[in-house]
Structure 1
Amino acid sequence: MHPDTHLALHHLRAEELRTQADTNRLATASRRRHELRIRLGWTLVEVGLRLASAPRPAVAH
């Protein structure tokens, strides 16, 4: 294979890998934000339910 052709293929493949890495990085960051938002939402629901429910009487042993 001619060295110039090999170099051109190398540059093309390197650019493909960079694009895949960027896409993966963005998808991972988006997924983490989504998971954090869900976890925060359920925590707020739990806190709200605890505040809204009547306190249980203390049980003496």
Structure 2
Amino acid sequence: MDPESHLALHHTRAAELRAQAAAHRLAHAARPPREFRTRLGWTLVELGLRLAATAPRPAVV
């Protein structure tokens, strides 16, 4: 491959990667904070632990 062609392809690919990185940064900045999801997750973990820690019921014979 001609060095000039290779260099042109390299510059094109580098520009595409920079555009993808910029789009990713913008999408990440627009995402809402995870505070609600975090609180909900820990609440579900606490509920699961409480359910798992209940005393076993006596067997009905």
Interval containing the TM-score (normalised by the shorter chain): 0.5 to 0.7
Q: Which runs of 4+ in 1 moved over 3 A?
A: none
Give the TM-score of the pair, scaled to structure 2: 0.55
Superposed CA RMSD in Å reads: 1.6
1:36 aligns with 2:14: yes
Which structure 2 residues correspond to residues 1-61 of structure 1 after superposition, within 5 A? 24-57=2-35, 58=38, 59-60=41-42
| Structure 2 spans left out of the alignment, 5+ residues | 46-61
Give the TM-score of the pair, scaled to structure 1: 0.55
| Cα distance in 2 for residues equivalent to 1:55 and 1:34 | 35
Secondary structure at 1:49's aligned position in 2? helix
Count of aligned pairs between the two proteins: 39
| Structure 1 spans left out of the alignment, 5+ residues | 1-20
Percent identical residues? 8
